[in-house]
Amino acid sequence: MISDSSTPSAADANASSDDAPVSNVVLVTVDSLRADAVSPYDTERRSPVIDGLAEDGTVFDRAFATGNWTPFSFPSILASEPVFSRSGDIGVDESVTLAEVLSDAGIATGGFNAANGFLTDHWGYPDGFDEFEPFVTSVGSSVYSRYLAAHPTVEAWIQLATSPIRRLGSKLRGENDDRPFLDASRMFDVEDAATEFVDDTDEPFFLWVHYMDTHTPYVPAPRYIREVSDGIVGTHQMLHAHARTSLGLEVGERTLRELRTLYQATVRQVDASVGRLLDSLDAAGVADDTAVLLAGDHGEEFQEHGHLAHYPKLYDELIHVPFVADVPGLDGGRVDGHVGLDAIPPTVADLLGVEPSPEWHGESVLPALRGEETISGGDDGSDGDGDDRSDTDDGDASAGSADPVVSVTVRGEEVTEQPIPRSLSDGDLFVSVRDDDWTFIENVDAGERELYHRPEDPTQQENLATDPDDRAQSAIDRFAPIVDAHAELLRERGDAAEAAAAERGDDEVDEDLDARLEALGYK
C-alpha cells in the first residue's frame, strides 16, 4: 500500500500524467451478475460485447465480491474497504472513496446508478462525484408510478403486452430497433446520462455506471428472450415464471429453467447497452484513451443451495463474479490468481496516474494487467474452478496478492428474512475466506464452519470441515485466524458506530428511496 498520507493534488496528477497508461476510465458494474452468466467464463452464454472486452483485455478468472448484497459489496468497489469497517454501517459516508481521491487530483467524475436505492446519498455514494444521479426519484410521484415501483412484476406484463406495439411504432417512424421496449430498469436513463457526461467532459475523466437489469424480477425485452431461447415461444416464459413466483407457488424444474432464461436475457440486454456506451466513447473520440473495467457486484442463486436471488450466503454462485479490464495498449490475457473487488479503486487510480489512498485495503492489479506477474496456481496443480475457459489463452498471470479474499454477510433467524441487515446486530455474522482453491465459511456467532475444495467440489456441496483430513485441517488452521481478525475489526467499529447512529437517529429513508427498495424486494 502507499504509505504517504498526503492527498494528491491536481498538480501532482498533471505531473504524473505522462506515466499514466490512459486518460480516462469507465467502470461498469452490473447488479447480481454471476461469473458464469457471461461468455468469457462460460462459452455457452451469449454476451458478445463483454466477450469483446475480454478478448481485447484481461479476464480475472477468480474474482470475488466481498458480500452477497450490493450494500455489502460496494464499500469495496468504490472505497476499497470492507463493509462495516469504517462507520459500522453499510454506507461509505465516512470513507475515502475513489471518486473523492480522483476529484481531488483534478479528474472529472460522473456516477450514474439505475435506481438501486442502496447506492444513493443516504449512504454517501455521491461523495466526490461532480455529476451523480441515482434515478431513484424517476419512479415518479403518481400513484401509478409508485405502484409500478413497488410491483416490478407488473412491469414485466406491461413489457410483454406493449412490445409488439412499440416495435411497430419504431419501424413506422423509421427508427432502429434498439429501444422499442419499456425501460423498466432505468437502463436508458443511465445510458443517456453517461453519454452526455462523456460528450460534455474534457479529459481526463472517471465514469461509473451501474445496471440493474440482472436483478430480480428479471424484466428483459422480449427480443432478448428470443435471442437466448428457442425463438418467439420463449417470450411467453416471462408470463409463466413471474406468475408462479409472484403467487408463491413451488418453483419446479420448468419454472427454474424459465427464470434462468429470463436472467440470461437480462444479461444480453445489459451487454447490448454496454455496447452502445462503448459506441458513445468512440463517437466522442476518446475510446483509444479510455480503459473499461466491468464487474458484477455479487452473483445470483438459482437453488444451488436451496433459494433464489441473493439471500445471506457466501457460496460461489453469490461471490464469484466477472471482472474484466480492457486497457488500451495492453495485450491482456487471463489472470488465474484470486482477487477481490477492493482492487478496483487502487487500480483505477493507478491507471489515471493518481496515488491511491493509504486507507484503502486493496492492491492495484495494474502489474497483472501488464502481464508482469506469473501464475500463482493452485495447491494441487489444478486449473481451479473448472470453468470452460480457465486454461485457455496466452498471457496468464496472477493477481499478485497472497492475501485471501474475505467476504461477509449477516443472517437473521431465517435465511430469507428481510430487510437487508444494516448493522451487525441484525443477525449472525458470516465470514468467508477464499484463495485460489479453497473456500472457508464460518458463522462467527454460532461457531459453525464450512470448508470446500473448489477444484474437486466447484458447487460447494461437501463440507470438509465436518471431518477434516490433514489437508483440510491445514486449510482451516490458515483461514480461521483471518476470520477472527476480520470479525474483531468489524465488531470494534460496529459497536461504536451503532451507538452513535442510534443517538443521532439518522437511519430513516425518504419515501422515494423506500419505494425503490421495496421494488427491489427489500421491504
Higher pLDDT, residue 278 or 379: 278
The DSSP line for 227-246 is HHTTSGGGGGHHHHHHHHHH
Please say whether the dihedral angle defined by the alpha carbons of residues 179, 184, 189 and 195, taken in this order, is positive or negative.
negative
Higher pLDDT, residue 454 or 88: 454
Q: In this structure, are residues 30 and 211 in contact, taking their beta carbons and an 8 Å threshold?
A: yes
Higher pLDDT, residue 55 or 397: 55
Kind plus residue range of the DSSP H or E element containing 182: none
Residues 6+ away with beta carbon under 8 Å from 302? 256, 259, 260, 263, 308, 317
Residues 295 and 406: their CA atoms lie apart, in Å, by: 17
Q: Which of 404, 523, 522 is nearest to 72 (CA)?
A: 522
Tens digit of each residue's pLDDT (9 = 90 or more) over 284-324:
999 999 999 999 999 998 777 767 767 788 999 999 999 99
Does residue 377 carry a pLDDT above 60?
no
Core vs surface per residue 320-358: b (16+ CB within 10 A) or e:
bbbbbbbbbebebbbbbbbbbbbbbbbbbbbbbbbbbbe
Q: Which fold has domain 19-372?
A: Alkaline Phosphatase, subunit A (3.40.720)
pLDDT at residue number 275: 96
CB atoms within 10 A of CB 204: 25
Distance of CA 114 to the CA centre of its chain: 13
Mean pLDDT score, 3-14? 38
* Helix 253-283 with 187-200: angle, nearest 10 deg: 20
Residues 493 and 496: their CA atoms lie apart, in Å, by: 6
The DSSP line for 440-475 is EEEETTTTEEEEEETTT-TT--S-TTSS--HHHHHH
The DSSP line for 15-29 is HTGGG-S-SEEEEEE
Higher pLDDT, residue 342 or 159: 342
**Neighbouring C-alpha atoms within 13 Å toward the C-beta of 502:** 8
Residue 393 binned pLDDT confidence (cut-offs 50, 70, 90)? very low
Look over the chain and give the mean of its residue pLDDT values, rounded to a whole number: 80
Q: Which of 266, 257, 264, 262 is nearest to 303 (CA)?
A: 257
pTM of this prediction exceeds 0.85: no
Q: Which three cell numbers stand for residue 82?
A: 470492507
Burial of 508: CB neighbours in 10 Å, binned 0-12, 13-18, 19+? exposed
pLDDT at residue number 304: 74
Does residue 120 carry a pLDDT above 90?
no
Percent of the chain with pLDDT over 70: 69
Mean pLDDT score, 372-391? 41
Residues 6+ away with beta carbon under 8 Å from 293? 25, 26, 27, 28, 323, 324, 325, 326, 344, 347, 348
What residue spans define the domains of the chain? 19-372, 404-522
Residues 482 and 397: their CA atoms lie apart, in Å, by: 25
Residues 509 and 114: their CA atoms lie apart, in Å, by: 18
pLDDT at residue number 452: 97
Does residue 270 carry a pLDDT above 90?
yes
List the single range of 348-352, 411-415, 439-443, 499-503 with lowest mean pLDDT: 499-503
List the single range of 47-56, 185-194, 204-213, 316-325 with lowest mean pLDDT: 185-194
Residues 315 and 432: their CA atoms lie apart, in Å, by: 9
Does residue 255 carry a pLDDT above 80?
no
The DSSP line for 78-127 is HHSS-TTTTTSSS--TTS--HHHHHHHTT-EEEEEESS-TTSSGGGTTTT
Q: In this structure, are residues 523 and 515 in contact, taking their beta carbons and an 8 Å threshold?
A: no
Burial of 44: CB neighbours in 10 Å, binned 0-12, 13-18, 19+? exposed
Does residue 375 carry a pLDDT above 70?
no
pLDDT at residue number 257: 82
pLDDT at residue number 4: 36
Q: Which is it for strands 405-411 and 108-113: parallel, antiparallel or unpaired?
A: unpaired
Q: Which of 284, 139, 122, 263 is nearest to 198 (CA)?
A: 284
